[in-house]
Structure 1
Amino acid sequence: MRRQSSGGLRFIRRAAVVLLLAIAGTLAFVKFEYGRGTLFPDIGSENQDGLDKLEKLIRLDYPPGNVAVAANGHVYFNYHPIARAGRFSEATVFEWVGGKITPFPSMEMQKEFQGSFGLAIDHQNRLWMIEPASFDFQHTRLWAFDPNTRQKVHFFEFPGKEAQFAQDLRVTADGKYVLLADTGIMRFTAPKLIVYSVEDHSFRTALAGHPCTSPEDWLMRTPFGVYRMAAGLVNVAVGLDGIDISPDQNWVYLAAMTNSHLCRVPLSSVLDTMIAPSDLANKVEVLGRKPLSDGITSDKSGQVILTDVEHGGLMTFDPETRNAATLVRSRDVIWADGVATGPDGSLYFTDSALSAYIGQLAGPPDKTKLVEHRPYFIYRLRH
């Protein structure tokens, strides 16, 4: 009996060693595959002139996500869905006019929202917003509202897990198509550029898994250190997070967050249903170096504006010279997130402060964590 017990004990020990080695090997693989990277070089600079023009426009109790500005100067914004402020606030989507904040389109409508992300105002003066299914919801939902009547004018719910990680959107000048940026999840699923038809509610993937839409192996720095998750095993790597359509409607700009280059592709080709994603990939053009970015917009002159996540500010990119330059950077800004151009050329951007409260497994922070970093701000860089 003692010999059998001794043999059984040796078996258990060997099994435990094998299990530990397997776990260690798995962790090592995950670290190598998803935790690799190098620090991104700073391609910007300080800009005192920009800092002098920067103002904290809107003070908030919870982190803002995205922002859109109408032709009349009204500002629309939402609370960032990662913060899940809806657990503590009755409203999550707002309109700001002359210093006053009101729920948009109404307080009653707030109950219908599941966590809005991207916002955009089209040439028909409709406010669009996307609610991705990736935040534990069953379907991605697309909304449009008339700011004047505050009525819903369009709604679509994507089937299954389609457009699951769609987080940004832009609308063509004729109002017929909505372009969606689907980030994918880290390096596990491919990012996509999706085209949605307003007229017949159809949609298709125009581009998927292209190097310009995919994350690269960069380590993103924040005021709290390198941005890692899962106890340091996984670096934050985000694909196609920002898109914009050039004012002349010739180009779609592609800005993946942890990608070092700004790219573009002809809008006419994106809308052409006869062009397969593999063929459209051949039409993508690399323009030049950009910062690790989140939000993107264009001004009336055609300059592309990108948020500089690592340095708390904005950079401008000239499509003609293909050079980027710093507009502003501030140590007060933790995470420059959404950005929009106002009617007078001023730039509005949110500080979602993501890296201050996001959990190691991307879970929603508790209220104590969110309160700890109050106040949160939407900034305006005066023209």
Structure 2
Amino acid sequence: MKNNFIAAVLAVTMTGMIACSKDDDHGERKLELMFEDNTYQLTGVAKEENGRLLVNYPRWSDIYQYAVVITNGKTGKTPYPDVATNQWSHGLSGLNKWVCVQSVYFDKAGTLWILDPAAPKLETIQGNGAKLVRMDKQSNTIARTYSFTPILADTSYVNDVRVDVERQYAYLTESKGGGIIVVNLADGQMRRVLQAHYSTISDPSYKFIIDGRELMKDGKPAKFNSDGIALTPDGNWLYYKPLSDDKLYRIKTEHLRNPGMTAMDLESQVEDLGHFTTTDGMIFDEKGNLYMGDLQGYRIVKLDSALRMTTLVKDDRLIWPDSYSIADGYLYISCSQIQKQPEYNNGVDKRTSPYTVYRIKI
């Protein structure tokens, strides 16, 4: 990357940090509770324009009921698309069942996508079930399944997805080994790129301090690789980042779609945008504003097209803001409380409030 570009990025990043410190929008927007679950840990949220609100639950522990549900009021839920699809058990094929769903997503055409890394308890892929599924809007049945079996190791965990409706491509993050998966939705061809590149691997020197201490697992600092992913409204840029550091990266999607580019060619096209927040998910609105969480600061921030960062809301209820969806003029936010899980607290479950979905006017 050229020096003048780095200087420009640093300048706007510093401007963003200054703007953020002012908390310009803090207090003007309030969280509105849309759904809560006192028992089961949710991660993903997808809101249909003028329609349904869906959440998903990964199979991360034995406290588990359904993978995907349609919510009904603050606490009601109906398994989606039916009970049978949610009833997978060890030894069964995972191709037509939800095994361990991580993300649900509505693209801008209103099509629902369900991402199933199929790795219960974040261990290994089961039943050849790692897949991206497109649902049929009319029948609420599986329209097409894109299996990741040909390109992923059993230890992989596909995490989040964005779909370019016009070009018919999907982009996904793999959060264990680090990398981006590119899927041609028309012919089903896929490849994994930027595997273990510095932009998809959490900075080993970054201390992920949350709730006053560094997040630890098994006596070592907890590290989460490429996770959050966002596609600009024109589909020209893919933004992504590791979870457990504050760096943000982007790359032109034309390069990702070009199978003739070598690994070295692609790596040379990655742009380092600088330091912002530790976020899990992220999402663009139609105006080109990027919304991210701040896991350490219990807030939601907005980056404009010049990378100026402002605080949208800061609230103690934002316990690990996880995934995002935009519909009806609102940003929907799921809170998964990951830092309170037993494996990050010497076996003690520190959850004291429900898993939740909020929304905020944008």
Is the TM value for this pair above 0.5?
yes
Note the alpha carbon deviations across 1:135-160, whole angstroms, 9 max, x for none. 33333222221244211111133226
Which residue of the partner structure matches residue 66 of structure 1? 44
| Cα root mean square deviation, aligned | 2.7
> Taking structure 2 as the reference length, what is the TM-score of the superposition?
0.81
How far, CA to CA, are the matches of 1:94 and 1:147 in structure 2? 15
| 1:239 aligned partner | 225
Counterparts in 2 of 1:343 and 1:273: CA distance versus 1, 3 Å: farther
Q: What is the match of residue 263 of structure 1?
A: 249
Distance 1:175 1:123, change over 3 A: farther
Structure 1 residues 77-127: Cα deviation after superposition (integer angstroms, max 9, x where no partner): 1124434542xx2x2211235655322112222112111012221234221
Cα 1:144–1:361, aligned 2, differ >3 Å: closer, same or farther? Answer: farther
Q: Residue 118 of structure 1 is aligned with which of 88, 103, 123?
A: 103
Q: Is the 8 A contact 1:131 1:141 kept in 2?
A: yes
1:293-308 mapped onto 2 (5 Å cutoff): 293-308=279-294
User: Which residues of structure 1 form unaligned runs of 5+?
Assistant: 1-40
Q: Which residue of 2 aligns with 1:221?
A: 209
The one of 69, 72, 75 aligned to 1:94? 69
Aligned-residue offset at 1:44: 5.0
Q: Is 1:150–2:137 an aligned residue pair?
A: no
Partner of 2:195: 208
Alignment match, 2:339: 355
Q: Distance in 2 between matches of 1:273 and 1:95?
A: 38
Q: What letter corresponds to residue 166 of structure 1 in structure 2?
A: V
Q: Which runs of 5+ in 2 are unaligned?
A: 1-16, 88-96
State the 1:52 CA deviation.
4.5
Aligned mate of 1:54, from 27, 31, 34: 31
Residues 209 and 296, structure 2, Cα contact 8 Å, conserved in 1: yes
Question: Does the 8 Å contact 1:133/1:161 carry over to 2?
Answer: no
User: Matches of 2:43 and 2:277 in 1, distance apart?
Assistant: 19
CA distance in 1, matches of 2:134, 2:265: 31
Q: CA contact under 8 A between 1:94 and 1:104: conserved in structure 2?
A: yes
Contact 1:128 1:144 in 2 (8 A): yes
Give 1 or 2: higher helix fraction.
1
| Per-residue deviation, 1:66 | 0.9
Which of 302-311 and 352-361 deviates more? 352-361
Identity of aligned residues (%): 22
| Matched residue type, 2:165 | A
1:220 maps to amino acid: F
Alignment partners' CA distance in 2, 1:101 and 1:252: 33
Distance 1:156 1:48 in 2: 41
CA contact (8 A) 2:99 2:118 kept: no
Maintained 8 Å contact 2:151/2:192: no
Alignment of 1:34-45 (within 5 A): none
Structure 1 counterpart of 2:356 = 377
TM normalised by structure 1 equals: 0.77
Q: Which residue of 1 aligns with 2:160?
A: 168
SS for the counterpart of 1:339 is: strand
Greater Cα radius of gyration, structure 1 or 2:
1
Matched with 1:29 is: none
Query: In structure 2, what residue type is equivalent to 1:70?
Result: E
Q: Say whether residues 1:253 and 2:239 are aligned partners.
A: yes
The DSSP-based 3-state class of the residue aligned with 2:50 is coil
